[in-house]
Homo-oligomer: A and B are copies of this chain.
Amino acid sequence: MAVYTEVSDEALRAFLADYPIGELLAFRGIAEGVENSNFALKTTGGDFILTLYEKRVDPGELPYFLGLMQHLASQGLDCPQPVPARDGQALRQLAGRPAAICTFLPGVWPRRVRPQHCAPLGDALARLHAAGADFPGRRPNALGPAGWAPLLGRCRAEGDQVQPGLVAELDAALAGILAAWPAAGLPQGQIHADLFPDNVFFLDDAAGQPRLSGIIDFYFACTDLLAYDIAVCLNAWCFESDHSFNVTKARALLAAYQARRPLTPAERAALPVLCRGASLRFLLTRLYDWTSTPAGALVTRKDPLEYLRKLRFFLRAEGPSALGL
């Protein structure tokens, strides 16, 4: 939830004059997304989203993110499509920040995930991976395995204040995960890496079944193991509010994914450790935010211990079948 940057009327009008999208009709801050400032923009040409990139995003990486969205949209994936200005550039400046206008996607993100959401999700994830195959950009995963030890190091002093013994438990888990991490041989490509429910929109079809209408927020996208994206989704979509793992949701997700791209034997074998790694990744960033967010900041801190419970589940899981494979 965040609008960090206010945009003056004059600056907005001057900015929009460079785009062939008609006259301004409305401009409202959107309360979703915590990394950037997002505005719903309505013009005589339609609905758009204007994003101002705030300090958590490296401006040097924006061409990768915007280029990937452009590429995926051109392949038919329902994702925000950057709108080029009259000079052909999609990445511009507004209020002293990098800024881009993207197409608006219809749909509603699921506040309560049902099993019926998980098959469309798995299908769309496989289509995303296929559509990204011929995108030439590359971006290392800054929050991948090589980043976890430094991130844990930055939480070392205060981590046990969140839960006694937490740092030691995470040290042990990290060592095990890194030892078992698949070094090579798994298919790589462009992954979303943050495919949580609030980044996926659905609309009901005529029969009342959820149809996936769009995937947003590619600002953690990177070039990494395709199956790691599945592991992120199993973490983000397949646990109930009582912290139990819903294998029905996992099976629906995995079956729909594999209908488009069957996992290799090495990917199947690696899925449990990839899931542990994904748990640890979100646990560590939440823990870091929890211990370093100043009181009064306009960021909703998310509970890191939710991901400790998920990590423990995946540490106990006896092979891929426990995950719905």
Contacts and interface: CB of A to CB of B under 8 A. Distances in A.
B295 A298 contact: no
B111 A6 contact: yes
A25 B2 CA distance: 23
A7 interface: yes
A105 B27 CA distance: 11
A40 interface: yes
Interface stretch (A28-36, A78-86, A218-226): A28-36
A106 B295 contact: no
B1 A31 contact: yes
Interface string A18-49: 00000111111111100000001010000100
Contact of A7 (B111, B201, B295, B297): B111
Interface string A96-108: 0000000011111
Nearest to A293: B296
A121 to B, nearest CB: 14
B27 A29 contact: no
Copies of this chain, tallied across the complex: 2
Contacts of A25: 106-107, 203
A168 interface: no
Contact of A106 (B8, B26, B110, B203): B26
Q: How large is the interface on A (under 10, 10 to 19, 20 to 34, 35 or more residues)?
A: 35 or more
Given A296-B295, A298-B300, A300-B298, A28 B9 contact: no
A13 B42 CA distance: 24
A204 interface: yes
A10 interface: yes
A112 interface: yes
Contact of A111 (B8, B106, B300): B8
Interface in A43-93: 47
22 contacts: A1-B1, A1-B2, A1-B29, A1-B31, A2-B31, A8-B111, A9-B112, A9-B202, A13-B204, A23-B204, A24-B108, A24-B203, A25-B203, A26-B106, A26-B107, A26-B201, A28-B32, A31-B31, A42-B106, A295-B296, A296-B296, A298-B298
